[in-house]
Amino acid sequence: MTIGWCFDNTYSKLPDPFREKIDPVPVKNPELVILNKNLSKELNLDFSNIDNNKIAELFSGNSLPPGSNSIAQAYAGHQFGHFTMLGDGRAVLIGEHLSKKKDRYDIQFKGSGKTTFSRNGDGRAALGPMLREYIISEAMHNLNIPTTRSLAVVKTGEDVVREKPLQGAILTRVALSHIRVGTFQYIAARDKKNELEILLNYVIQRHYPNIQNSKNKAIDLLKVVMEKQINLVVNWMRVGFIHGVMNTDNMSISGETIDYGPCAFMDTYDPKTVFSSIDHLGRYAYCNQPLITKWNLTRFAECLIPLIHNDQNKSIEIATETLNSFEKKYEEKWLNMMRDKLGLFGSEDNDKILILDLLTWMHQKKTDYTNTFCHLMGLEIDQNDKFQDDDFQSWKERWQKRHSLNNKNYEKCVKLMRSVNPLVIPRNIMVENALKDADKGNFDSTKKIIGILSNPYLEQKDIINYQAASLSNKNYKTFCGT
């Protein structure tokens, strides 16, 4: 096949404890559902001369491309606070593809069959959750948020059994890497310092070569991963995204959003919003995402203790000092993000109060998170009487007065706001409707949503139905798909 694969598989060369060599389990009747042509071009892959049947054979794992070397990666994780030894239970990494620019990407099949790490699972995935990941991961990419991406979805021609039989599918996921905090936890739990050093050096060489000559590589890696994760979660908060399952095995060392299980976007603003059907206590609620980020980073720091300093107490002291800077760094970046959402240049002492007063009003009045900022940009998505409220009008006067302090004209303020406030997000109801249609064999809704979400900051024709918040946060539940 003259597709353009260029594999250079470095992770598979790490010692045996890091991975299991295993091929995808063949499927009966693979059928291509969707292929991401834009991502294909970015990866310098050309499928134009390959018929859909052969593409389906490829992305089902029935025929592996030359140069691939499929493995299941070992990792651990704190799942809802409880430590577990895990690993790729339903995924295989077929290799690392190099683009013409020499950018390195993991190519992973999700739903590709049992591995050593499957425990009691079947190693398979259902069509709905795989299409859901495709839709939302591509939406996140177009919202300018670091994320794994989706290259293809194929149906397997086999059923998977969950609460009821469902159509089986395999997603091809593309990532800068699939190395997680949980990867470090797995190796640290083996209590072999030499393996931990191998992983540390591998990650730095692959992702952060600028700290390769650092005097203390371990602490500098902690600092850079913390910075990446703060930036990532601030972006989630910007668009109302709720990950839903922020276990340590779902925190990527590269700083990408990974694992779109019970995730969703908030409609009505409520900081305690939870969509995940398994998050009964709200551990991963919208407002808790920054707190959990620091908690996960603390687990990462614990793994690095043997490498930070020879004296354990000194090592803990250094790591703690780094982690203690989290809150200040996060708040500063969050405030700047919110200033951008409100079109505020520079900084003023009362900015935080102004921002919190708006969010408090939104919470009390149960306004839509995305559409409130659209209203402030002069875009009336829906005719909402709440915006005529006296308290809101009073707040708006304060906001406009704050604008005048910058000596910036209104057009520049709106331009700033338009760069960070999406006009359309993956609304829960539109995603669910597309998945229902897909289950019946109609993929038109899925493709239309993907097209609309490819330009979330631009005004588009006939998308009002995709902008209305018509599904209650309170009643909507998402599921992990396993």
Q: Are residues 409 and 364 in the same domain?
A: yes
Q: Are residues 261 and 296 in the same domain?
A: yes
**Last residue of some domain: 178, 194, 222?**
178
Q: Are residues 167 and 250 in the same domain?
A: no
The two counts, helices (H) then strands (E), for the chain are: 15, 12
Rounded to whole angstroms, the Cα distance separating 334 from 323 reads 17
CB 299 within 8 A of CB 180: no
Domain coverage including residue 116: 11-178
Q: Are residues 316 and 306 in the same domain?
A: yes
Q: Are residues 151 and 187 in the same domain?
A: no
| 8-state DSSP, 249 | G
Q: Are residues 100 and 149 in the same domain?
A: yes
Per-residue pLDDT of the chain (482 residues; tens, 9 = 90+): 579 999 999 999 999 999 999 999 999 999 999 999 999 999 999 999 999 999 999 999 999 999 999 999 999 999 888 999 899 999 999 999 999 999 999 999 999 999 989 888 899 999 999 999 999 999 999 999 999 999 999 999 999 998 889 999 999 999 999 999 999 999 999 999 999 999 999 999 999 999 999 999 999 999 999 999 999 999 999 999 999 999 999 999 999 999 998 899 999 999 999 987 778 788 999 999 999 999 999 999 999 999 999 999 999 999 999 999 999 999 999 999 999 999 999 999 999 999 999 999 999 999 999 999 999 999 988 777 899 999 999 999 999 999 888 777 888 999 999 999 999 999 998 999 999 999 999 999 999 999 999 999 999 998 988 888 765 556 677 766 55
Entry pTM = 0.95
Q: Are residues 143 and 214 in the same domain?
A: no
| Domain membership flag for residue 438 | no
Task: For residue range 151-164, list pLDDT tens digits in order.
Answer: 999 999 999 998 88
Q: Are residues 204 and 94 in the same domain?
A: no
CB burial of residue 352 (10 Å; 0-12, 13-18, 19+): middle
- Residue 380: its pLDDT value, please? 81
| Domain membership flag for residue 448 | no
How much is the mean pLDDT over the chain?
A: 94
| Domain membership flag for residue 135 | yes
Q: Are residues 89 and 143 in the same domain?
A: yes
CB within 8 A of 139, min separation 6: which ones?
425, 426, 453, 456
| Domain membership flag for residue 434 | no
Q: Are residues 365 and 225 in the same domain?
A: yes
| Domain membership flag for residue 355 | yes
**Last residue of some domain: 149, 178, 207?**
178
Residues belonging to the active site: 249
Q: How many domains does the chain have?
A: 2
CB 148 within 8 A of CB 173: yes
Residue ranges of alpha helices (H) inside 111-240 are 127-142, 181-189, 193-207, 217-239
Q: Are residues 405 and 274 in the same domain?
A: yes
| Domain membership flag for residue 224 | yes
**Last residue of some domain: 144, 178, 212?**
178
| Domain membership flag for residue 445 | no
Q: Are residues 167 and 221 in the same domain?
A: no
- Residue 28: its pLDDT value, please? 94
- Residue 385: its pLDDT value, please? 87
- Residue 479: its pLDDT value, please? 67
